[in-house]
Structure 1
Amino acid sequence: MRILYIDVDSLRPDHLGCYGYHRDTSPNVDALASDGRRFTNYYASDAPCGPSRTALFLSRFGIHTGVVNHGGLNGDPRRYGRQRGFNYPEKFRSWMTVLAEHGIHTATVSPFPSRHDTWQVLEGFAEFHDPRDSHAHAADIYPYAEEWLEVNAADDDWFLHVNFWDPHTEYNTPLEYGNPFEDDPAPEWPDEETIRDHYESYGPHSAFNPESASFDWSGSWNLERMPEEIADREDFETWVDGYDTGIRFMDDHVGKICDLLREQGVFEETLIVVSADHGEALGEFNVYGDHQCADQATCRVPLIVSGPEVEPGVDEDLHYQIDLAPTVSELVGAEPPAGWDGRSFAPSLTDGERAGRESLVVSQGAWACQRAARWDDWLLVRTYHDGGKPAFDDVMLFDVATDPHQTTDLSAERPDVTARGLSILQRWHDDRLLEAARGENGGNPETPDGIVDPMWDTIREGGPLHARGHLGPYAEYLRSEGREEQAAEIEANYDLDVA
């Protein structure tokens, strides 16, 4: 089997035409969706980038691997303990290792592992092609994929992972590409009143300071596609145009890859998967152009699968991103290891049968410490460390069917539903730690701290990496901008020696 996995950073499903977006951002991805299967409730179990791809390629929850943060103790996988022999334990083989052992040649084109030092995502890849530019856009990535496919496309049994960065801030699509959406209306939300309220508030990547919060609170993007602040709808339109242009630029190169497969005579025989590491907030919780929450905007990602034996249509069931590894493994005839948390939904892909989960729990540990339960039309978010964002209450409940931007907290109004969400969170947590103690699924009692929730470790260290050490300078920045009360609020709420 030939498999092409197109992995796009920071790609929201609702900004693709095939998911109902009104702008023509994705004609080539939409064409794949029209002939393939589109998943509407597909979620990264652990966000953002490093935790997400670790979970994807190891098919294990972050609570089991330990990777829930971008740094500190929980920025790296826990070791395997006594069962680590000459090779990693068989039950914890990576997705790519399983494919390689089944005769699939594996290759990746991605700047991601070296950008984050997340080398665990390369386990089992026979080839790693790194453009060595952490902000490489699609025109930099495509030549590597083009060269590889020109040599290998006609061969049998390969897996090629191609990682595009373009929708991720900073929006650096070449200026000569122009703005394809200059005359198209921007999304209606956030409206002027919402933006005004956001601008008067604060937080990392908020409307008042959407620039790179972790590195330079008072700096400037120095990019024409990105305003230095989002004070009104005009600023937001510039901002969302930059995001959507990145998607369209990426999509052009997806089209080039598909054309190349056609030229090689293997397009119809190639299983093509389009997905993302996480979504992107475009105003949700006053976060613009980042992925800081365990919520719908950050954790819901697109999944489009097109190719031989794929049943066309739409799957609306709940699935984790970690379920993709056992699904593809089953399609190639490989047996998923006992140590994976993922569960195959191959029956949905091949026969259109229901193969989803009743509920999901998703986590965020790099910008905030949160977990969220997702079931029916509900999303309950539990915050343990807010990462400097005043928009978060400890417990919040949203009806994402009617309120996709999570603007109205219903936790007080619907205590019955809130109790149900908290119950799902607690049961999930207990089950995962019980697996860790028993050595079941992705749990491993032989690893150091194997039965300790890494989220608690992250909080003990002082909180998520991107808030730790930056909230003090951020308070000073706010004070320099005349926001004395907000600076004092941060200083009162956090131990700035660690945060």
Structure 2
Amino acid sequence: MRILFLDLDSTSPDHLGCYGYHRNTSPNIDKIAAEGVRFTNYYTSDAPCAPSRTALMSGQFGIRNGLVGHGGTAGDMKLEGIKRDLMGRLTRGGSFPSYLNLMGNLNTVLISPFAQRHSTFGFYAGFNEILNTGKYGNESAEHVTPVAQDWIDRNAQKDDWFLYINYWDPHTPYRAPMEYGNPFEQDPLPEWLTEDVLERHKQMVGSHTVNELNIDFINKTYDNQTHPSFPRHPGDIQDMDGLRTMIDGYDCGIRYMDEHLGRLFASLEQQGVMDDLIIMISADHGENMGQLGIYGEHATADQGTCRLPMIIRWPGMKQGIVNEDLHLHLDLLPTMAEMLGGPSMPDWDGVSYASVLKEGASCGRDYVVVSQCAHVAQRSVRFRDWIYIRSYHDGFHLFDKEMLFNLSEDPKEQHNVAASNKDVCMEAVYYLNEWHDDMMRRSGDDKDPLWTVMKEGGPYHARGYLKGYIKRLEETGRGHHVEELIRRHPSEFPEKIHPAAMIVQKQLSSRMKG
């Protein structure tokens, strides 16, 4: 058995040809999709990067494994504690690669800098070979492909291997070499991205909205600065030309990566192993390209960020079919266990969908819960045609506490219909509570890491940024947002006294004087 797993960072299914995109961004991916099973409602349980890959590798929701953010306590997995054996659970088949190694007797190989990028070294657990491409996730395809081709040339004809490769080109800042050109300069933009939509988006606030596509890490604010090393990536989007720069930059990243995938597939053909090779193509998360008014980021627990591509070509199994059931990426572990004929580990949270691959049978979930605690603190429920999003910290975007979108009518999440669909919101909250009760029971821990994030000052990519951002809003004529931002986030201003507290303080002071 030989397995190739392609983890294509920040790749949205909405921008792949095989998922219906009007631009020819992914001919090599599309060819694999035509030979396998394409999943259309496949989600990460936890976004963005580190929470998603940790959930995939551990087989557990972030609420259970503990890693839901990019900093603070929630930037690390929970300790196993007193029950930890000489070898921890990730070694004993609890992680994706360790299970393949132990139960499938596969040589597990990783080509990725990811663990170093986020100091998530549990990501390495179970890999026999680790090839770090050395640029902390700032790689372009020309840095990754030679390493992968070298391994393929030396090892592809051996039996029983699992090769996991990370590509990064769809991640901001867009980095396809300028000499590559722009294959899409004559192609229209997605139809829904109109001037009216852009005008609405220009009224929004928060990181990675059209006025602030950049984060200034030194001065702790959001701005519209550009960098000469990344000419494809704009600092803001003020007109349709700017919007085209943004969309074309993303699509060029996908197409450039796809051409490099074609080179890998050609190498595997030359080695004579392509026909019986199992290929899985997915991502850690999607990318908002206008959903919720956010561009070029994976900052929310919504359809744009949390919906993934998933394509599985398994020779001898179903070919050329589409599965529309709801699945989570952590369902892959019990699926692999069933396909290998091994046991499913009791502490995994996934549900096998092997029957889809074997028989084309429907076996999805009734609903899925997805979370985001790095840019915002949100939990969402995806069920039937709906996605319900509940915000605990809005990341300074001024999102409504409750958002509800009918994805069959509004797939780009532009119209919040929560107020007119309270019954649907109540159903979603029931699912959310049911899930939360089950997760807390299974975790054996009284700590929900989302609330740890809140207690420690909020999401990592928002923490400490509001003061600088308020200054920018005032300097750019958008100071009318400031009062509401301060009202929602008083903990960012400990020096400010709430008006009600000021009244009490004055009364106490008066009595003391009396």
- Normalised TM-score (structure 1): 0.95
Matches for 1:212-361 after TM superposition, within 5 Å: 212=215, 217-218=222-223, 219-222=225-228, 223-312=230-319, 313-361=321-369
Q: 1:211 aligns with which of 192, 210, 214?
A: 214
- Report Cα offsets for 1:206-255 as digits up to 9, x if no partner: 10111236566333233221222111221111110000000001101111
Q: Contact 1:137 / 1:173 at 8 angstroms: preserved in 2?
A: yes
Larger Rg belongs to: 2
Q: Secondary structure at the match of 1:200?
A: coil
Matches within 5 A, 1:108-123: 108-123=110-125
Match of 2:10 in 1: 10
Q: How far off its partner does 1:91 sit?
A: 7.1
For 2:337 and 2:155, locate their aligned partners in 1 and report how far apart those are by CA, in whole Å: 21
Q: Encode CA deviations 1:402-434: one digit per residue, 9 max, x unaligned.
A: 111111112121222111111111111111112
Q: Write the distance in 1 (CA, Å) between the matches of 2:296 and 2:53.
A: 19
Structure 1's 40 and 178: CA in aligned 2 closer, same or farther, altered over 3 A? same
Q: In structure 1, the residue corresponding to 2:437 is in which secondary structure?
A: helix
1:453-464 aligned at under 5 Å gives the runs 453-464=448-459
Residues 497, 108 of structure 1: CA spacing in aligned structure 2 closer, same or farther, 3 A cutoff? farther
Which residue pairs with 1:389 in the alignment? 397
Structure 1 residue 498: Cα displacement: 8.1
Name the counterpart of 1:198: 201
2:97: which partner in 1?
A: 96
Contact map agreement 2:213 2:222 (CA 8 A) in 1:
no
- Per the TM alignment, residue 492 of structure 1 is displaced from its structure 2 partner at its CA by 3.8
C-alpha separation between the residues in 1 aligned to 2:370 and 2:241?
33
Q: Is the 8 A contact 1:214 1:467 kept in 2?
A: no
Report what 1:441 is aligned to. Answer: none
Q: Secondary structure at the match of 1:384?
A: strand
Write the deviation string for residues 291-346 of structure 1: whole angstroms up to 9, x where unpaired. 11111000000000113123020110000000012212322333221111112111
Q: For residue 5 of structure 1, what is the amino acid of its counterpart? A: F
Letter in 1 for 2:213: P
What amino acid is the match of 2:356? S
- Counterpart amino acid of residue 109 in structure 2: A
Q: Deviations over 1:165-200 (max 9, x none)?
A: 000100011111000101101112221112112223
Report if the CA contact (8 A) 1:106-1:125 is conserved.
yes
Q: Secondary structure of 2:368's partner?
A: strand
Shift of 1:465: 0.5
Counterparts of 1:173-192 in structure 2, within 5 Å, are 173-192=176-195
| Kept in 2: contact 1:67–1:76 (CA 8 A) | yes
Question: Residue 10 of structure 1 aligns to a residue in which SS?
Answer: coil
- The letter for the 2-side match of 1:388 is F
C-alpha separation in 1, matches of 2:316 and 2:81: 41
Would the alpha carbon gap of residues 213 and 33 (structure 1) be closer, same or farther in structure 2, given more than 3 Å must change?
A: farther
Residue 249 of structure 1 aligns to which amino acid in structure 2? Y
What is the CA–CA distance in structure 1 between the aligned matches of 2:262 and 2:15, rounded to whole Å? 17
The residue that corresponds to 2:68 in the other structure is 68
- Aligned partners of 2:38 and 2:173: how far apart in 1? 28
Whether 1:107 and 2:103 are equivalent positions in the alignment is no
Aligned-residue sequence identity (percent) comes to 43
The change in CA–CA distance for 1:49 and 1:213 in structure 2 (over 3 A counts) is farther
- Within 1, Cα distance between the matches of 2:83 and 2:70? 26
Contact kept, 8 Å, 1:92 with 1:340, in 2: the verdict is no
Q: Partners of 1:430 and 1:37 in 2: how far apart?
A: 33
Separation in 2, partners of 1:471, 1:116: 24
The Cα shift of 1:477 comes to 2.1
2:493 maps to 1:485: no
Check the 8 A contact 1:359/1:374 in 2, yes or no.
yes
Which residue of structure 2 lines up, in the alignment, with residue 77 of structure 1? 77
Q: CA deviation at 1:66?
A: 0.7
Give the 3 Å change call, closer, same or farther, for CA 221–200 of structure 1 in structure 2. Answer: farther
**Following the alignment from structure 1 to structure 2, what is the Cα–Cα distance between the partners of residues 94 and 298?**
24
Taking the aligned partners of 1:34 and 1:116, their CA distance within structure 2 comes to 35
Q: 1:33: which partner in 2?
A: 33
**Unmatched 5+ stretches in structure 1:** 437-444
Aligned to 1:267, what secondary structure does the other structure show?
A: coil
Aligned match for 2:438, one of 426, 431, 444? 431
CA distance in 1, matches of 2:125, 2:373: 23
Alignment match, 2:161? 158
- Name structure 2 gaps, 5 residues minimum: 496-514
- For residues 256 and 429 of structure 2, the distance between their equivalents in structure 1, rounded to whole angstroms, comes to 41
The equivalent of 1:22 in structure 2 is 22
AA aligned to 1:373 is: V
Q: Aligned partner of 1:420: which letter?
A: E
Name the structure 2 match of 1:472. Answer: 467
> Relative to structure 1, is the Cα distance of residues 400 and 211 closer, same or farther in structure 2, using a 3 angstrom cutoff?
same
Alpha carbons of structure 1 residues 116 and 185: separation in structure 2 relative to 1, 3 Å:
same
Residue 417 of structure 2: aligned partner: 410
Deviates most, 485-494 or 71-80 = 485-494
User: How far apart are 1:491 and its partner, in Å?
Assistant: 3.3
Counterparts of 1:272 and 1:334, CA distance in 2: 20
**SS of equivalent residue, structure 2 residue 311:** strand
Specify the code of the residue in structure 2 equivalent to 1:188: E
Find the aligned partners of 2:430 and 2:251 in 1 and give their Cα distance: 38
Secondary structure of the structure 2 residue equivalent to 1:251: helix
Contact conserved, 2:486 with 2:493, CA < 8 A, in 1?
no
Equivalent-residue separation in structure 2 for 1:491 and 1:476 (angstroms): 12
Give 1:469's aligned amino acid: G
Distance 2:41 2:437 in 1: 24
Residue by residue, what CA displacement relative to the aligned partner does 1:343-382 show, whole Å, maximum 9, x if unpaired?
A: 2111111211112111100000101110111111111111
For 2:362 and 2:119, the matched residues in 1 are separated by 37
How far, CA to CA, are the matches of 1:83 and 1:143 in structure 2?
A: 43
Measure, in 1, the Cα distance between the counterparts of 2:214 and 2:51: 23
Distance 2:410 2:477 in 1: 34
Q: Deviations over 1:56-75 (max 9, x none)?
A: 01110001001111111111
Rounded Cα–Cα distance in structure 2 between residues aligned with 1:59 and 1:194: 39
Post-superposition CA distance 1:7-64 (Å, at most 9, x none) = 0111110110000000000000000000110000000000000000000011100010
* Deviation digits for residues 136-185 of structure 1 (CA, Å, limit 9, x no counterpart): 01111011111111111111110000100000100011111000101101
Q: Is the 8 A contact 1:380 1:398 kept in 2?
A: yes
TM-score (norm 2): 0.92
Give the whole-Å Cα distance in 2 for the aligned partners of 1:385 and 1:190: 27
The 2-side partners of 1:327 and 1:260 are apart by 28
The structure 1 residue matched to 2:406, chosen from 388, 399, 407, is: 399
